[in-house]
A and B are shown apart, each in its own frame.
Chain A
Amino acid sequence: MLDTLILSRIQFAANISFHILFPAITIALGWFLFYFKLRFNLSGDPIWMRAYRFWVKVFALTFAIGVVTGITMSFQFGTNWPGYMETVGNIAGPLLGYEVLTAFFLEATFLGIMLFGINRVPAKIHTLATFIVALGTSISAFWILSLNSWMHTPAGYEMIDGVAHVTSWLEVIFNPSFPYRFSHMMVASGLTASFLIAGISAYRILRGDAKRAPKLTLKTALTVACVLGPLQMIIGDMHGLNTLEHQPQKVAAMEGVWQTEKNVPLLLFAIPDEAAKKNHFELKIPNMASLILTHKIDGEIKGLNEFEGNHPPVAPVFWGFRIMVGLGLLMIFVAWFSRIKLWKSEHLSPWNLKVLFAMSFSGWVATLAGWYVTEIGRQPELVTGILTVKDAATDIAPANVGLSLSLYLIVYAILMVAYLHTVFLMARGAVEIEEVSYEEVRKSNMQHENSDEVNHV
């Protein structure tokens, strides 16, 4: 029989994993929409409005699932992890509160105007609403990543009678790992959205969509991916160095280093064996891990032996890291390869399109793998040096948690099928619609000239 602790952990992991998939798209997709709207305003070319109208529907659907699955999170702190709020509530509470106050209301209210208000507000206000929705999603990410980072690298607090009290809010919010984690997540969202846009656009072209819109969005998304991919590598490297400084046991697990040593090789493949405290079937590049982590060939890396009984489970962290990095490299390669092809010939070959289509949701896999590395990597602690996961757990009956967990899993499975099904259905629907007509161009030119008035008609 599974106990309450493990069931609560599975439930939290399931909820947060399912939830993050949707913000991972919408954070950046919001900015894409703003860009499309801006290009339309500047050029008056209705093709940008076409792109906007298709992707705003995907945005709305994704956003809705993100919102409703996010609500469950705010309840779970109380239902399943009472010790968390009792110990660090003075810090977690206000940060979550600011997220609700400065982000949730903003995005939710202006989303209504953005989705349904285009004929009811002046064009400029609609563009502003699009901007505010994008800004809202980013502000939301700011607060939640600040709190998450604080759990990894707490700062600006003191412990009084076992409860954390704040000494400096600036140090709490901008704690040591926050800048890296925040930029890493923002760029991850950028890549996730780029590959989704590229993938769905490729899918439309493969289905015989000869219109300008999918070509345009494909090109835009690939360009963004080409820039963000390498940028993510640099940020990831900086984030890794920061982790090495604050959570060396996590890095040791990521690299599969059992003994503290110099000239550590980079393991491309290995099967970590926690019982024997070593790896099997190592495939390695000599000195490479030392070089990456310390920027010196003979740099010393602390091994797991220094954290006996207090380090995370090695295999999931080790493998999560390899999946994330491997996928990241593949994304960079595919993005650059496809973009250069597109630059040279204006068309992509069918198999190239198929690859992009297959990678539509590659950002999801990489993002999840990355989060598993960082969150499993902080085990057995919940808040570094303050609270262990075990001490935060609830004492309610396992049957209750089992019931709620089963309900969530069923609903999530249905939602995932429905979501994927619907996104591709919308893409197929977009294949059928007509190319931008002469009438549409004329109307949009008129709008462009005296944009504020005509929009009401």
Chain B
Amino acid sequence: MFSAETLAVIFVGLMGLSIFLYAILDGYDLGVGILLPLENQQQSDNMIASIGPFWDANETWLVLAIGVLLIAFPSAHSFILKELYIPVAVLLIALILRGVAFDFRMKAAFSHRPTWDKAFKVGSLLAALSQGYMLGMYIMGFEYSWQSTAFSLLSAVGVAAAYSYIGACWLVMKSEGELQKKATKWARKAGRFSFLGVLAVSVVNPLINASVYERWFSLPNMILLLPMPAFCFVLFLIVDRLLKRMPFQDDVSCWIPFVGAIMIFFLCFNGLAFSFFPDIVPGKITIWQAAAAPASLSFILWGALVVIPCILAYTCYSYRVFWGKTKELKYY
């Protein structure tokens, strides 16, 4: 049906979609976890209630992303995961901690709740940090030097800040009263950190990768691409100004910061994708070198074309069911 070349492009697109959706969706719930105020039980409960029905499905996008990498680009999967062995182990342990803490905090003995809350917060933070670290190592082409470690650590903090940002914006949308005010403050603070992070990565990335520099700063690319970082900056600014004046009467436009954050994520994601395409491992392996057999890719593609729209549809349905301000999370 499709040629091997086209299939590789389709699958890298599919993987990109999964990673992007993962970053937004699990991004906000990891962010909520990072922001968890351990001293305030009521607010912690409300915050966790706002992500309760979603976190499990959100995390599934990571499984799909890693699954697509495994299915479509098996040799890149082996290469990347071998290089990132320890951060991956940390990420997995962190996700385990966070996932179970969510259930245990409600069901275990009441006196244990603060402990599980701590596990939830630490797990969320560790997951975000390890993902950021992996992103940094990926951008650096898995090079081992002090510069690359320093950059990866910077990227780790950047991703944790970005997740806190989108998490806080989520809370601005889903909460009210005191918690909403608090979330507005968090969002502004995290927004500034995220902006610095995006700026740092955008400056360092072309400086260390000659080919990336070439791609961004040659004419006419430079002029064509300029709106992207400019728009990103404007978005950060608009969201920040808006947050400063929030909340408005009847809570109008409480959803704008969250949508703004999604757009920022989208722009950054595209920026990164543009920097490296068609390499699946920067400077080492292209998507065409790593692609699996066309027969296998076609087999899964037809299923994916049918199933992914269904997944998106019922995901939207689930968000509609739990639309509006989160009250209390209760079984039954």
Interface residues of A (CB under 8 A from B): 53, 56-57, 60-61, 64-65, 67-69, 71-72, 74-75, 77-79, 82, 85-86, 89-91, 93-94, 96-98, 100-102, 104-106, 108-113, 115-121, 163, 165-166, 169, 394, 396, 400, 403-404, 407-408, 411, 415, 418, 421-422, 425-426
Q: Mark B78-116, 1 if CB is under 8 A from A, else 0.
A: 101110011011001101111110111001110000000
Q: Assuming A56-B331, A404-B86, is B99 touching A78 (CB within 8 A)?
A: no
Closest 4 pairs (CB-CB, A-B): A112-B53, A93-B71, A78-B81, A82-B78
Cβ A74 vs Cβ B67 within 8 A: yes
In the complex, B63 has a CB within 8 A of chain A: yes
Q: Is B259 an interface residue (CB 8 A)?
A: no
In the complex, are the beta carbons of B59 and A93 less than 8 A apart? no
Contact A403 B89 (CB under 8 A): yes
Interchain CB contact under 8 A, B92 and A65:
no
A61-B103, A100-B63, A418-B104 known; A79-B299 Cβ under 8 A: no
Closest to A81 in B: B78
Chain A residues in 8 Å Cβ range of B96: 68-69, 71-72, 411, 415
A75 touches B74 (CB 8 A): no
CB of B90 to closest CB in A, whole Å? 8
Quick check: B78 and A100 within 8 Å, CB to CB? no
For the residues of B in contact with A, the DSSP-based class is helix
User: What chain A residues lie within 8 Å of B93 (beta carbons)?
Assistant: 407-408, 411
8 A Cβ contacts from B257-306 to A: 292-293, 295-296, 299-300, 303-304
Jot down 10 A-B pairs with beta carbons below 8 A, ordered by A.
Answer: A57-B107, A64-B103, A67-B99, A82-B78, A90-B295, A104-B60, A116-B331, A404-B85, A415-B100, A422-B107
Q: Least Cβ distance of B328 to chain A in Å?
A: 10
Given A117-B53, A396-B85, are A108 and B60 neighbors across the interface (CB < 8 Å)? yes
Known: A67-B59, A418-B104. A89 touches B74 (CB 8 A): yes
Query: Do A425 and B107 touch across chains, with their CB atoms under 8 A apart?
Result: yes
Label chain A's interface by main secondary structure: helix
Residues in B whose Cβ lies below 8 Å from that of A101: 64, 303-304, 307-308, 311
**B60 contact set on A, CB distance < 8 A:** 100, 104-105, 108
- Bound CA–CA A418/B92 (angstroms): 19
Q: Which of B95, B107, B315, B329 has the most CB of A within 10 A?
A: B107
Whether A53 contacts B322 by the Cβ 8 Å rule is: no
Q: A96-B67, A97-B304 are in contact. List 13 more A-B contacts (CB 8 A).
A: A61-B103, A68-B98, A78-B70, A79-B89, A90-B292, A96-B71, A101-B303, A106-B311, A110-B314, A115-B52, A115-B331, A120-B321, A403-B89
Q: How far is the CA of A57 from the CA of B314 in the complex (A)?
A: 23
Distance in angstroms from B18 CB to nearest chain A CB is: 10
Residues on B with beta carbons closer than 8 Å to the beta carbon of A411:
93, 96-97
B233 to chain A, nearest CB (A): 35
Nearest CB in chain A to that of B71: its residue = A93
Q: Does B62 contact A (CB under 8 A)?
A: yes
- The answer to whether A166 touches B311, judged by C-beta atoms less than 8 angstroms apart, is no
Is the beta-carbon distance between B100 and A79 smaller than 8 angstroms? no
By the criterion CB–CB under 8 Å, are A116 and B53 in contact?
yes
Contacting residues of chain B (214-259) with chain A, CB-CB under 8 angstroms: none
The residue that A72 contacts in the complex, of B70, B75, B92, B322, with Cβ under 8 A, is: B92
Check if B140 is an interface residue, CB within 8 A of chain A.
no
Q: Which residues of B contact A79 (CB under 8 A)?
A: 81-82, 85, 88-89
Q: For residue A394, which residues in chain B have a CB less than 8 angstroms away from its CB?
A: 82
Residues of B within 8 A of A (CB): 52-54, 56-57, 59-60, 62-64, 66-72, 74-75, 77-78, 80-82, 85-86, 88-89, 92-93, 95-100, 102-104, 107-109, 292-293, 295-296, 299-300, 303-304, 307-308, 311, 314-315, 318, 321-322, 329-332
Using Cβ atoms and an 8 Å threshold, which residues of chain B touch A165?
293, 295-296
| A85-B70 contact, Cβ under 8 Å, with A61-B107, A115-B331 | yes
Contact at B314–A109, with CB atoms within 8 Å? Answer: yes
Residues in chain A near residue B64, CB distance under 8 A: 100-101, 104-105
| B74 engages A97 (CB within 8 Å) | no
Measured between alpha carbons, how far is A80 from B102 in the docked complex, in Å?
29
By a CB distance below 8 angstroms, the chain B residues around A96 are 67, 70-71
Nearest residue in A to B80 (C-beta to C-beta)?
A: A78
Bound complex: CA of A270 vs CA of B303, how far in Å?
Answer: 50
Is the pair B52, A94 in contact by a Cβ cutoff of 8 Å? Answer: no
B103 x A60 contact (CB < 8 A): yes
A101-B307, A121-B321, A404-B89 known; A64 vs B100 contact (CB < 8 Å): yes
Among residues of A, the one whose C-beta sits closest to the C-beta of B295 is: A166
Determine if B95 and A102 form an interchain contact, defined as CB atoms under 8 angstroms apart. no
**B299 and A422 contacting across the interface, CB-CB below 8 Å:** no
Question: For A64, what are the chain B residues with a Cβ–Cβ distance below 8 Å?
Answer: 56, 99-100, 102-103
Query: What residues of A have a CB within 8 angstroms of the CB of B308 in the complex?
Result: 101
In whole angstroms, how far apart are the Cα atoms of A415 and B72 in the complex?
A: 34
A53 contacts B92, C-beta separation under 8 Å: no
In the complex, the answer to whether A74 meets B66 with C-beta atoms within 8 Å is yes
B57, A109: Cβ atoms closer than 8 Å = yes
Complex alpha-carbon distance, A234 and B313, angstroms: 42
With a CB–CB cut-off of 8 A, which chain B residues contact A163? 293
Q: Is the CB of A75 within 8 A of B88?
A: yes
- The winner among A64, A90, A112 for most chain B CB atoms within 10 A is A112
On whether the beta carbons of A65 and B100 are closer than 8 Å, the reply is: yes
**Among B75, B81, B321, which residue has its beta carbon within 8 angstroms of that of A75?**
B81
- Name A93's closest neighbour in chain B (CB-CB): B71
Partner of A166, one of B99, B299, B321: B299
> Which one of B72, B78, B89, B293 contacts A78 once the chains associate, using CB atoms below 8 Å?
B78
Whose C-beta in chain B lies nearest to the C-beta of A400?
Answer: B85
Contact between B57 and A105, CB atoms less than 8 A apart: yes
B215 smallest CB distance to A (angstroms): 28
Residues of A near B80 (CB, < 8 A) are 78
Are A116 and B72 within 8 A (Cβ)? Answer: no
Given known pairs A61-B107, A79-B85, the reply for A112 and B99 (CB within 8 Å) is no
A106 shortest CB reach to chain B, Å? 8
